[in-house]
Amino acid sequence: MQWKPEFSVGVEAFDQDHKILFDLVDQFEIAGTTGKSREHIAAVLDTLVDYTKTHFKREEDMMEKYGYAGLQAHRHAHSRLAKQVTDFCTLYEGGDTSITNDLVAFMNNWLQIHILDEDMDYKEFLGGKEV
């Protein structure tokens, strides 16, 4: 998935986070399709999950700092994604390596929808503010 200017949410730190998340999903896909070891793929997946959590916390902290009215709904969306990704990780760690393509498709789809829909809701409110 390629970053496009229309993905910008008006907060540079979040745009950078999103770019990193796109890159991590790409790394995971490449690792899964080029015969990398299960351990390598698991390490990339762990990094993706950890960075996603870091990004969510940064977003939620900023929303709280500035009193964003949509904070609870955004937290709920983040919580849903975290649960779904955790479920994928559990399957992978349990030996189901066939989920690689499903996880890549899910993350690419989710990132696009989340950024272009839910994150854009805060663009006007948080755009230009300091993290």
Split at pLDDT 50, 70, 90, the class of 60 is very high
- Given the structure tokens 């929808």, which residue do they identify? 113
Q: Where are the domains positioned within the chain?
A: 18-126
CB-neighbour burial class of residue 124 (10 A; exposed 0-12, middle 13-18, buried 19+): exposed
Split at pLDDT 50, 70, 90, the class of 6 is very high
pLDDT score, position 39: 87
128 Rama class: left (phi>0) / alpha (psi -120 to 50) / beta:
left
Q: Assign domain 18-126 to its CATH architecture.
A: Up-down Bundle (1.20)
As a whole number, mean pLDDT of residues 100-129 equals 90
Reply yes or no on whether the pLDDT at 57 is more than 90: yes
Report yes or no: 119 and 9 within 8 Å, Cβ to Cβ. yes
